[in-house]
A and B are shown apart, each in its own frame.
Chain A
Amino acid sequence: MAKTKKEASMKRNRIIDTIWSNGLLIILALVWIIPIVWVILASFSTQTEFMTDSVFPKEYTIDNYVRLFTETDYPIWIGNTALIAVTNTVLTTLFTVLTAYALSRFRFKMRKLFMNITLILGMFPGFMSMVAVYFIFNMMGLIDSIWGLLVYYVAGAGLGFFVCKGYFDTIPKDIDEAIHMDGAPHIVAFIRVYLPLIMPIIIYTALLAFMAPWADYILAGILLSDTNRTVAVGLYEWMDEYHINSYFTLFAAGSTLVAIPITALYISLQRFFVEGISAGAVKG
């Protein structure tokens, strides 16, 4: 009798647990999903004002998307950003991995110095030097050119090697010796042996390099002119107090279009991303 009572109470506890856990998770999921659903639906709204009398639009149209490509500079922005992002992915990943490889696998005189300087540079607020960067780009004639922006991103590639180097460090040293026995030069070892081994971190680095131009507001805002923008700068302006009321649905459409491919990319590469952030977090 006592036993069944205890079982019953355990079962009841279990049911309560199931209900509140699932309930809480569903509420949380709603908190995360509603804003996203809202902006996607708003991008199909017939009402072009930000101020509406209902949360979700009542009638739907694809007009906003048509306007986005016919009446605004959005195609230029997205073309610019995509071009920078793809090129940046290739070059930044290459240089980051090369730097990490050199610092992890070679022992040379200036190595510690180089790493310490990098560390100190990372502690300065990033755009403290923007005025000077602007001036140097002006000197080089790279103002208002997306190539200038790209040069700046790629130039910083060598400074972001820490996570990648940490990953290299975990690869046993025996591999080096085995390669040397074969008499293969280091570059061959790098390409044939190391690159496949560090594939997860390469994908992680590439993903971050691809994302950076989409999120960069500061430098893109300073270097590019009004007609030759990137997505982040352009969409930001549509959301300021002067533009928001007439541009909001366009903003919603533009954001949705940008977000879909990037989100898909993220979700498909989620595994590598987790591996990368875990490696970075645990190794400090």
Chain B
Amino acid sequence: MRQLWRDFREGFIDQTPPFFAAMGLCPALAVTSAVVYGFSMGMAVLAVLLGSNIVVSLIRRWVPAEVRIPVYTVIIATLVTVVDLVLAGTVPAIHRTLGLFIPLIVVNCIILGRAEAFASKHGVTRSIADAFGYALGYTWALLLISAVREILGSGTILGLRVMPAGFVAWKIMLTPPGAFLAMGTIVSVINVIRNRSRSRSAAVKRAQPDTAVPEVA
């Protein structure tokens, strides 16, 4: 159980894409103009990643190492086709807005990266925990970016007005430059927080000097 939590935590907190691992950047910029799109993209990635981690983990003993990448790619492309058709059938409006970026999950490095780095080496249960960790980590990242862009760009969140009536919406937040600027600012703020907590833990260490290894004069 503790092992499963550790697998989940790695993607959810320690290596959250796209903030702490440079993966899945394109959709994070392209489909985050409103919270509902960011959330849908996160769920689409969850469905594909879960499926691909399970299948790759199940067949890991029978796939020869030389052809594993093409095999994984075909598995992922098949799953993406399924997700694409399901979305087109159930939520056509969202499917149209996400557009190109649903099929582009095929080349999203998170999916292939986890198949190669984790699912091909571990059992099904741990691979499921890993898929949930990375996909939900990616989802919270997308939710954060899209919340910032929707609140500033439209004054709403999930379509409900949250900003006071006098607030003039920053239209630029909904355009491509706004995506880059919002993302750049969020990454900088996260870095500030991280650096601060790191220097604090370093200060604690200085206050209680480690005497196990005596200093050599």
Whether chains A and B associate is no
* Interfacial residues, chain A to chain B (CB-CB below 8 A): none
* Interfacial residues, chain B to chain A (CB-CB below 8 A): none
